[in-house]
Structure 1
Amino acid sequence: MSAQDLYLDILTVYPNTMDRAAARGVEKILGHTRQQYSTLGFTMPLFRVICEMAEVGEFHVDSTYKTNRTGHELFSIVASVNGIGFPIAYFLLRMNPINEPINSNDQSDPTNHTIASTDYTTTINTSNSPTPNIDNIPTTYTPTAKEIQEATRSQLIAGFFTRLCSRGLNPRFMFTDKDEGQIDAISQVFGDNAVRLCLWHLIRTVKLQLAKPKLSNPQYNINEAVNRFPFVSRQFQPTADRNGRRCENAGHREAIVVMMRKHYHMHSNILIEGEYFTSIEIHNRCAEEIYTFCVQHDLQDAWAYLYSRWYRDSWWNKWACSTRVPIPIGKTTMMIESQWKILKRDFLINSNRPRLDFLV
C-alpha cells in the first residue's frame, strides 16, 4: 500500500480519530488529499486561550520528519508563555514525488499554478524563482518541477497559517529556521515584521556555508551591493579561480560568526560605543565591518555569500534585532526543538514511524 493510499485509508477507515480528539478540545481546521499533496491541520485545546492573551506575542514554528509511516512532514506552532512553550497547533504535510504530473489551470502560463481544495483556492506565482544568473533574469523563465513543488509547499503552509490567523493567531514575532517555505508563508500571512530567524541556526548555517567549496556561479549582484553600500568596491568580487573554499581559514570563519552574533544583538535603544544609532546606521556599520574584514583577508567569495544571504536588506530584516522597535525575548527555536526531542524520545521511542492516526 502506498503512502497516499494509507493516508486515505486512515481518513476513511478511522474517521473517529479526530472526533475523539475533538471531545478534548482539538479542532481540525484542514484536511485535504490531492494528486500533488496531502494535508491535515488541527489546533490544540489551549489555542484560543493563548491567542487571547495580549502579553503572548512570540511563537515558534518548525517541522520534523520520520514521525509517521506515510512520510508526512510534521509542523508545530509553539507559543512562548513566560518562558514556557505550549504547542497550540500541528500541521501534517506530504508532497508527492516531483516526477508526478502537476496540473495547471493555465497551461499557457507556466508560472501560475493553482492548488484547489474543498474550501479555498490558492494561486502560486513562481515567476520570481531563482535563476542561474540573478543579474540577467530572462524574460521568459519556466520553473522546474522542484521549484513548483517548493512554491506549492510554501502556499500550503501559508494556507495553514491563514486558518490560524482567522482563528485569532496574531504573532508579534514568529521564530523559524532558514526554511524559505516557512519564511515566505509567515511573511505572506503575518507580514514581514513577524519573521525572526533563529540565532542558533544562523550561526550553524554560516559556519557550514563558509566552509563549503566556492560555487561555480557565486550569484553575487555587484550592482545592487554597490548601490546599497557606498563602501563596496566593484573590484572586490569573486574571481575566475573557483578552487578552494569560500573561507579556508577556520579562525576567519569563527571571527565572522562572532561579528554576526554581535550584529544580531545591536539595537537603536542600546548604546554602541557610547552612542545611539538609527536602524539604518546600524545596518551600514555592521555591513561595513564585515566587508572590511573580508577585504583585509581577501575573502571575496565569503563577502559575496554574506551579502547575498544575510546583509542585503531583504535578509537583514529577518534576523537583526535593530530592524524592530520591540526586542524579542527569544533568540532561537530551541523551545520547539525540545518538543521534537520529547515527542521522539518519550512518546515514539518504541514506535518506529507509526501509523498516522497513532501519531495524531
Structure 2
Amino acid sequence: MLRVSSLNGDDGQRKISISLRHLDSHVPYYDVGMPPEAAAIIRDGVEWSTPVQLVGKVQALFPHVSATQVHSAWATMSEILWKRDELQLPSAQALLKELEDDIDVLDIHPADGVQQLAFVMKKIIQPLRGKVVEIGTDATYGTNSKHLELYTVLGEHDNAGFLLSYCLLSTAESIDIRKRKAALEAWAQKLRDTYGVIPVLFHVDKDMAEIGMIRSVWNAKIQLCLWHLKRAVCTRLDKRKLSTTPYQPHRAHAEYAFIDPNFKPSGRADPTEYEGGILEPPALIGNQIPVPCPHAITIKLPPTQTASAALTDITNTLDNSSATTAAPTNSESDPDEEENGKRAFCPPECRELIITAMENHLNAHPLIPGFCHPSPAGIREWAVKQMYTYCFENDLPEAWAYLWENWYRRGRWELWAQSEHPQIPRLKTTMMVENQ
C-alpha cells in the first residue's frame, strides 16, 4: 500500500511524506534463461525430433521454458545439419553435393538477376523413366524472407505419387520480361531431355507462368486443379463489384449462335481482371473478327434502372460513311446501390448451382456414356449452352461475361475440361503435390 501526504511546515516550506507497506508477497522471480539440461535435451533430439515434439519433453522437466524458446534453440542448433554458407543458394548447393548418391543437381545457367537451383531425386526418377503418364507441379511462394520460391514436380504411377524434382528460384533482382517463365522452362527442358519426363497429362493450378512452361516444353494436356478452380470461381462470385473481365459478345455469338450478343454487362469492364493474372487473346473463329456495324450508336440505361425493351438497345445505322460513332458513356454502378440489392454480380442463391454445373462440365468425357454428347465439341457446346441459359434466365450478364472470358471461351476451356483429351486423368486436384 502506498500513502503520500503533503503538509506546510512552520518554516514556510512544504513537507511531503511517502509511506509504502507490502501487504501481499511478490510472485517470486525466476530465471527465464534456457537451463543447460533443457538445452541438452534439444541438442540430443535436434536431428530426429521436431520442435513441437521437443516442447513437451522440455516443459515436462522445466515448465517455465516457453515453446518459443524451444523453437528458437532448435532452429539455431539445427544449422549444423544443413548450413554450409551464409548465402542461401550456395549453402544449398554445397549440401546437395554431399548427397550425390541420391541427388543430381541440374546444370542450369539462369539469366542475370535470377537465382536458381534445381535437382532431381536420382533413385526415383531413373526407374520411372518413360513410365509416368501424369505429373503435377506446385509452388510455395515466399518460402523465406529472401524471396525464395520452391517448385516441385511429382509423378503419378500405379496410384501413388513419386517426387521427381525440386527447383529453388528467386527472380526478385531481375528486370527481364517473363523471367520466371524462362527459368521454369530451363528446368523443365532438363527434366524432359535428360531424364525422359514426358507426361501425357499435367496437373497444375491457375498459375500462368507454370502453364506457359508446360505449353513450351511438353505436348501434354493441361488439367487445372478442381479445388483451385472452384475456389477462384467462388471468390469472384462472392464479390459485389459489377465490373468484370472485358467481354466480346460478338466473338461468342460467332462461335455459338444461341448466345445473344445483346446480353452483356452494361457497365465498364475491368481490363485488369483475368484469372491467372495475364490477358490471353481469344482464338479467332475462322480467322475472322466479328464486329458490330461500325456506324452505330448504342444507348444503354444504367444497370440499376429498369429498362424497357424499347430503350435497352437503340441502334441507328448511318448511311453516310463519314459519320462519326458515338461511344457509349457507360459507368460502373454506384457501390451503395449495389449493396442495396438493385443489382448483384451473382446472387447467393445462384452461386452453388454455378459451381456444381462447372464441376459437371469438368467431369464430362466421351468415354462416360449417357452423361452428355459423346464428342469433345458436343460436350463443350452442351456445357456452354447450359451455363449461358442459366445466366440468361436469371439475368446475370456480368457473371456470364466472367465465366465465358475466363473459363468457357476457346483457349481457356481446354485448360480445365477433361473432355479435351482422349484419356480420363486419375488425378482431379494437385493435393497430392501440396501434401508432399
Change (3 A) 1:91 1:173: same
Equivalent positions of 1:112-131 (< 5 A) are none
TM-score (structure 2 length as normaliser)? 0.60
CA contact (8 A) 1:30 1:160 kept: no
C-alpha separation in 2, matches of 1:38 and 1:317: 33
1:28 maps to what in 2?
105
Equivalent positions of 1:60-99 (< 5 A) are 60-96=136-172
Q: Deviations over 1:107-166 (max 9, x none)?
A: xxxxxx6xxxxxxxxxxxxxxxxxxxxxxxxxxxxxxxxxx3xx2211211111111110
Q: Deviations over 1:236-284 (max 9, x none)?
A: 00112433486331220110000001111111122235x6521101100
Change (3 A) 1:94 1:8: farther
Equivalent positions of 1:159-238 (< 5 A) are 159-167=186-194, 168-191=196-219, 193-214=220-241, 216=243, 218-238=245-265
Report the 3-state secondary structure (helix = DSSP H, G, I; strand = E; otherwise coil) of the residue aligned with 1:21: coil
Change (3 A) 1:163 1:305: same
| Counterpart residue type for residue 162 of structure 1 | Q
Using the TM superposition, give the Cα deviation of residue 66 of structure 1 relative to its aligned residue in structure 2, in angstroms. 4.0
1:288 maps to what in 2?
385
Using the TM superposition, give the Cα deviation of residue 84 of structure 1 relative to its aligned residue in structure 2, in angstroms. 1.8
| Counterpart residue type for residue 329 of structure 1 | R
**Aligned match for 1:260, one of 345, 351, 358:** 358
**Aligned match for 1:41, one of 118, 121, 138:** 118
Report the 3-state secondary structure (helix = DSSP H, G, I; strand = E; otherwise coil) of the residue aligned with 1:158: helix
1:247 aligns with 2:345: yes
1:318 aligns with 2:415: yes
Change (3 A) 1:93 1:299: same
C-alpha separation in 2, matches of 1:283 and 1:29: 41
C-alpha separation in 1, matches of 2:344 and 2:192: 41
C-alpha separation in 2, matches of 1:317 and 1:329: 17
Using the TM superposition, give the Cα deviation of residue 316 of structure 1 relative to its aligned residue in structure 2, in angstroms. 0.8
C-alpha separation in 1, matches of 2:92 and 2:426: 42
1:336 aligns with 2:433: yes
Using the TM superposition, give the Cα deviation of residue 217 of structure 1 relative to its aligned residue in structure 2, in angstroms. 5.8
| Counterpart residue type for residue 126 of structure 2 | R
Aligned length: 280
| Counterpart residue type for residue 252 of structure 2 | A
1:52 aligns with 2:80: no
| Counterpart residue type for residue 404 of structure 2 | Y
Report the 3-state secondary structure (helix = DSSP H, G, I; strand = E; otherwise coil) of the residue aligned with 1:239: coil
Structure 1 window deviating more from structure 2 (283-292 vs 6-15): it is: 6-15
Structure 2 unaligned runs (5+)? 1-83, 268-302, 304-331
Structure 1 unaligned runs (5+)? 1-5, 103-112, 114-147, 340-360
C-alpha separation in 1, matches of 2:390 and 2:374: 21
Change (3 A) 1:79 1:221: same
C-alpha separation in 1, matches of 2:111 and 2:384: 45
C-alpha separation in 2, matches of 1:308 and 1:7: 48
1:125 maps to what in 2?
none
Higher helix share: 1
Report the 3-state secondary structure (helix = DSSP H, G, I; strand = E; otherwise coil) of the residue aligned with 1:283: helix
Change (3 A) 1:158 1:33: closer
1:18 maps to what in 2?
96
Higher alpha-carbon Rg: 2
Could you list the structure 1 runs, at least 4 aligned residues long, displaced by more than 2 angstroms after superposition: 6-16, 30-36, 65-71, 212-218, 240-248
C-alpha separation in 2, matches of 1:12 and 1:82: 37
Using the TM superposition, give the Cα deviation of residue 313 of structure 1 relative to its aligned residue in structure 2, in angstroms. 1.5
Report the 3-state secondary structure (helix = DSSP H, G, I; strand = E; otherwise coil) of the residue aligned with 1:262: helix
Q: Deviations over 1:78-104 (max 9, x none)?
A: 11122221111001111115xx7x3xx
Report the 3-state secondary structure (helix = DSSP H, G, I; strand = E; otherwise coil) of the residue aligned with 1:50: coil
Using the TM superposition, give the Cα deviation of residue 209 of structure 1 relative to its aligned residue in structure 2, in angstroms. 1.3
| Counterpart residue type for residue 169 of structure 1 | V
Q: Cα RMSD (Å) of the superposition?
A: 2.3
TM-score (structure 1 length as normaliser)? 0.72
C-alpha separation in 2, matches of 1:64 and 1:11: 16
Structure 1 window deviating more from structure 2 (79-88 vs 300-309): it is: 79-88
CA contact (8 A) 1:41 1:90 kept: yes
Using the TM superposition, give the Cα deviation of residue 7 of structure 1 relative to its aligned residue in structure 2, in angstroms. 8.8
| Counterpart residue type for residue 44 of structure 1 | M
Structure 1 window deviating more from structure 2 (220-229 vs 179-188): it is: 220-229
